[in-house]
Structure 1
Amino acid sequence: MRPFWLAVGFLTTFPTPPLGQVRPEEMRAATAFYPAAGYLIGAVLALVAWLTAGLPEGLRGGILLAAWLAATGMLHLDGLLDAADALLSSKPPAERLRLLADVHIGSFAFGVGFVVLLLKWQALATGPSPWLLLALPAVARFAVLLPMSLFPAAKAEGLGARSRQGRWPLALLLALPALLAFPWVALATVVGMLLLARWAAGRLGGGLSGDVYGALVELGELLGLLVYWVL
């Protein structure tokens, strides 16, 4: 059960048993349970959606967004902000890699973060199905394993590098119910995340980092919400 608890402890703020020192191969094994961690996040969102039914749309969307950020510890939002400053910079790839490690927030991070949170709030305010809220986090956390396997690590160190070449076939099995429940949303999420990953890899000299993986999840979830609204 250690890989499962590692995935939950890494991707969520839910309590886990003490895990001690983590070996690189365990981080790779934990990727198989990324969709399972997504279902846990989705279960919280579905419960909050049910409890807030009947509230004004804007207030309900804000509560759902707050619950989403709380369940993930803003892990993916942090990656989005760091990646925005680096990827949108006009500097060369080596300098963009340095910017990924900069803890300060620049204008690109502020602008992208504001727009993404605003759009996500608006999409949640429209009252998406609780079943979609259960499934979408699992879809995005499965989809991120594909660029993790297709593109090399931009940095030799870090959790992103240690999680590469993960156990995506088992992850696919776990994510299959979510993929089949919302096939068009899932397809758009997967394709959109792969296209964003290809663009990001080009901006970083060919590889991806942990911050970019987080940005892909955040943007993939937003894309899934918007496609669901359109459909």
Structure 2
Amino acid sequence: MRSLWLAVGFLTTFPVPPLGEVHSGEMKAASAFYPVAGYLIGAVLALLAWLTAGLPDGLQGALLLAAWLACTGMLHLDGLLDTADALLSMKPPAERLRILGDVYLGSFAFGVGFMVLLLKWQLLAAGPSPWLLLGLPALVRFALLLPMNLFPAARPEGLGARSREGRLMPAFLFALPALLAFPWVGLAVVAAMLGLAYWAAGRLGGGLSGDVYGMLVELGELVGLLVAVAWL
């Protein structure tokens, strides 16, 4: 159960029992439960979608987006903003890594963050099914384990490095119901996140960081919503 609580405590703002110090290898073990944390986020979204079904579409989409950000503590959004500044800058890889660690936000962060939130709001306002909202966060958090296993860490001392080489097969089993329910969404999410990871690794000299993982989650969710709204 400790691995489950670590995953939920790391990826969400839901209350968990006191966990104390995190030891070597525990974050890697916790990655098996990333899809479970995704289902918890999705359950909040699905319930809220059902409760607000009678509201105007734009208002419902805004409430769903606010709940999504609240459930994650904006963890992945923070990674997206930092990564936008680093990856879009016309700098060498070593300088981009330095920018990733900078606490200040630049114009790329504001522009990319605004567009991603705007698109996510509009896609949520388009009325994806509560079942999709339940499963999509789990799909994305399973798909995240693929680049975490395939690409080295950009910085060996970071949290991203401690979470690498996660438990892929247990996570796959947890994510399997969502994958079976929405196979085309799952395929699009995996393809998009692997493609983005390959591009990001090239911009950073071959590796990925925890901030990049956050960017992959945000854009993976965006792609999943886009596919669901356009074709389902």
Taking structure 2 as the reference length, the TM-score comes to 0.99
- Between the aligned partners of 1:47 and 1:200, the Cα distance in structure 2 is 35
| Aligned residues with identical type, % of pairs | 78
For residues 52-91 of structure 1, the aligned pairs below 5 Å read 52-91=52-91
- Between the aligned partners of 1:130 and 1:103, the Cα distance in structure 2 is 36
Which digits, 9 at most, give the CA deviation of each residue in 1:109-156, with x for residues without a partner?
Answer: 000000000000000001100000000000000000000000000001
Shift of 1:157: 1.1
Residue 98 (structure 1) aligned with residue 98 (structure 2)? yes
Residue 197 (structure 1) aligned with residue 200 (structure 2)? no
- Between the aligned partners of 1:3 and 1:160, the Cα distance in structure 2 is 17
Residue 48 (structure 1) aligned with residue 48 (structure 2)? yes
Secondary structure of 1:104 counterpart: coil
Paired residues of 1:58 and 1:125 also in contact (CA < 8 A): yes
1:170 is matched with: 170
Paired residues of 1:76 and 1:218 also in contact (CA < 8 A): yes
Secondary structure of 1:24 counterpart: coil
Equivalent position amino acid for 2:79 in 1: G
What CA RMSD, in Å, does the superposition of the two structures yield over aligned residues? 0.4
Residue 215 (structure 1) aligned with residue 215 (structure 2)? yes
Equivalent position amino acid for 1:188 in 2: A
Shift of 1:24: 2.3
Residue 112 (structure 1) aligned with residue 134 (structure 2)? no
For residues 15-30 of structure 1, the aligned pairs below 5 Å read 15-30=15-30
Paired residues of 1:24 and 1:163 also in contact (CA < 8 A): no
1:132 is matched with: 132
Equivalent position amino acid for 2:140 in 1: A
Aligned residues: 231
Shift of 1:158: 1.8
1:227 is matched with: 227
Flag as ranges the 4+ runs of structure 1 deviating above 2 A. Answer: none
Equivalent position amino acid for 1:216 in 2: L
Residue 36 (structure 1) aligned with residue 43 (structure 2)? no
- Between the aligned partners of 1:136 and 1:37, the Cα distance in structure 2 is 11
Shift of 1:163: 0.5
Which digits, 9 at most, give the CA deviation of each residue in 1:202-226, with x for residues without a partner?
Answer: 0000000000000000000000000
Equivalent position amino acid for 1:95 in 2: E
1:6 is matched with: 6
Equivalent position amino acid for 1:14 in 2: F
Higher alpha-carbon deviation: 21-30 or 59-68? 21-30
2:143 is matched with: 143
Shift of 1:229: 1.0
Question: Which segments of 5 or more consecutive residues in structure 1 lack a partner in the other structure?
Answer: none
Shift of 1:161: 0.4
Secondary structure of 1:18 counterpart: coil
- Between the aligned partners of 2:32 and 2:125, the Cα distance in structure 1 is 32
- Between the aligned partners of 2:80 and 2:10, the Cα distance in structure 1 is 17
Shift of 1:198: 0.1
- Between the aligned partners of 1:157 and 1:59, the Cα distance in structure 2 is 42
Taking structure 1 as the reference length, the TM-score comes to 0.99
- Between the aligned partners of 1:224 and 1:41, the Cα distance in structure 2 is 15
